[in-house]
Structure 1
């Protein structure tokens, strides 16, 4: 397998997932600064023009971070980062979906339509008037999650893909004008715990 990667929170999710698994894949760095991900060569392997993408041993390609992580989990089930039972897998997928929709997506688009507008305006449809509202939506999601945390990790006692996904995006938010609200004490404590994991530094 080979990972096509770049800077940004989405590639970091897969890199952190791999680090937690102890898997070292060959990597190709895609230069987002010059728009390499929107050029013909890269679009042939990922028509969506996004990173990361995973080249499989049969020469086919996977994109979308949750699909990539699901595939890696099936190929390398230990340690389980989605789950070892149907119940564990369902819970991890539920929380991954929640944090993605409620926090990660609005946070990312708030940046793309705001501070990142000069980068993205010629690559995707941007709605600069929506930036502030999307940032508020992400903050609302963080406040909601604060009230849901009942264990050390998002899914309770198990460290899962949901933790990796949210960590990558909240850490990114901290450097693009969307810092974590210091008043969210449980979420800040969770973030500190994740940051202490070796995979957090290995994926940075």
Structure 2
């Protein structure tokens, strides 16, 4: 098993998940800036969508999409649990992960792609520069919503889960590309510092 990885919050999510699991998986670095992910052999044999990360299994098949990769890793290595040990825990983790992804991560990422990342992504996907500011506002609205819903100490409550890993990777990325976490969101700011202090945060940077 090996992980095809690169820069960016999506690969970091999986790397941090692996670090939390204590799994030592070889990394194959993909030159995202040079477009290696958009040409052969990567997009022919690893991920036809031309995206990272991709988890290559021992039989040569690959699992892509960060939540699917993390679900696979959890099933193969259930301890420590980052999704859950019961149906109710797993459902709660998936619910919060989905909310975080739709309300915050996706609009934040596209807000970057359509603005600061415009030159990098030009010619690779349909870009909507006119939507950038609105998408960034949507991501901020999502964070404001989560601030109001947050009970703590972690997103899903008492358990540190995939939802925390995913959101941390994107919020940390947002802070580097003009979408910093508003300090007015006190509960999320405290949460961010708690996650940042975990060894997995440094290991995945």
TM-score using structure 1 length: 0.99
| Runs (5+) with no aligned partner, structure 1 | none
**Partner deviation per Cα, 1:154-177 (whole Å, 9 max, x = no partner):** 000000000000000000000000
User: Which residue number in structure 2 is paired with residue 136 of structure 1?
Assistant: 137
Is the partner of 1:174 in helix, strand or coil? helix
Could you tell me which residue of structure 2 aligns to residue 74 of structure 1? 75
TM superposition shift of 1:183? 0.3
CA–CA distance in 2 between the matches of 1:33 and 1:119?
7
Report the Cα offset of residue 51 of structure 1.
0.2
**1:123 matched to 2:127:** no
Mark the runs of 5 or more structure 2 residues left unpaired by the alignment: none
Displacement, 1:81? Answer: 0.1
2:114 matched residue in structure 1: 113
What does the per-residue CA deviation read over 1:22-53, in whole Å, with 9 as the maximum and x for residues that have no partner?
A: 00111100001110000021112101100000
**1:1-204 map, 5 Å:** 1-44=1-44, 45-204=46-205
Q: Residue 41 of structure 2: SS of its match in structure 1?
A: helix
- CA separation in 2, counterparts of 1:195 and 1:146? 18
Q: Whole-Å Cα distance in 2 between the matches of residues 151 and 171 of structure 1?
A: 19
**Residue by residue, what CA displacement relative to the aligned partner does 1:107-131 show, whole Å, maximum 9, x if unpaired?**
0000000000011011111000000
After superposing on structure 2, the runs of 4+ consecutive aligned residues of structure 1 that deviate more than 4 Å are: none
